[in-house]
Amino acid sequence: MKKLISVFFFVVFSVSAVAGHHAKDEHNDIVDTAASKDIFSTLVTAVKAADLVNTLKGDGPFTVFAPTDEAFAALPPGTIEMLLKPENKQTLVKILTYHVVAGKVTAKDVASLSDATTVEGSKVMVSANMNKVMINDASVIKADVMTSNGVIHVIDTVLLPNDVKAAL
């Protein structure tokens, strides 16, 4: 019985912590929410280098497919450092805006799409099957991180527009 009560309190505490954390994100914009998560330090650095902070702090709403630090680390060696150089800002902006869709697109909405037009101007392919959502070759590993100006879907791969992919 003691063990059952302990498990019950653990589950209630865990659910409360997650729910509270989720609700907190809804009061922060996309940039502040990403900056508060350890897994997005590379993304936040890139957004700053591309001068997109004010844009992503704007009214929106925006949907951001946010690659984790591990996703950025999987790029060819030296790619991140190269993209963060001021002379490559235009390419960095192109890559980052390829991760953004205008409007608030929740997981429920994403699951019914076959593609979405990004702020960069190109389309990303969307597929959903067996409780797995893919954006191009990236898996959505956490969906619906709600923010005050949109929603973040965490992905495991950096999305690259075709012309950038060919150049890397």
Domains of the chain, earliest start first:
29-167 (2.30.180.10)
The span from the CA of 52 to the CA of 30, in Å, is 11
Average pLDDT over residues 147-166: 91
145 close to 61: Cβ distance less than 8 angstroms: no
The span from the CA of 63 to the CA of 149, in Å, is 9
pLDDT, the chain, mean: 84
Copy the structure tokens of residue 81: 């450092």
pLDDT digits (tens, 9 = 90+) for 41-69: 999 999 999 999 999 999 989 999 999 99
Higher pLDDT, 11 or 108: 108
pLDDT band at residue 148 using 50, 70 and 90 as cut-offs = very high
Nearest CA to 138 among 159, 161, 153, 160?
159
Model confidence pTM above 0.95:
no
Per-residue model confidence (pLDDT) at position 17: 34
Average pLDDT over residues 159-165: 86
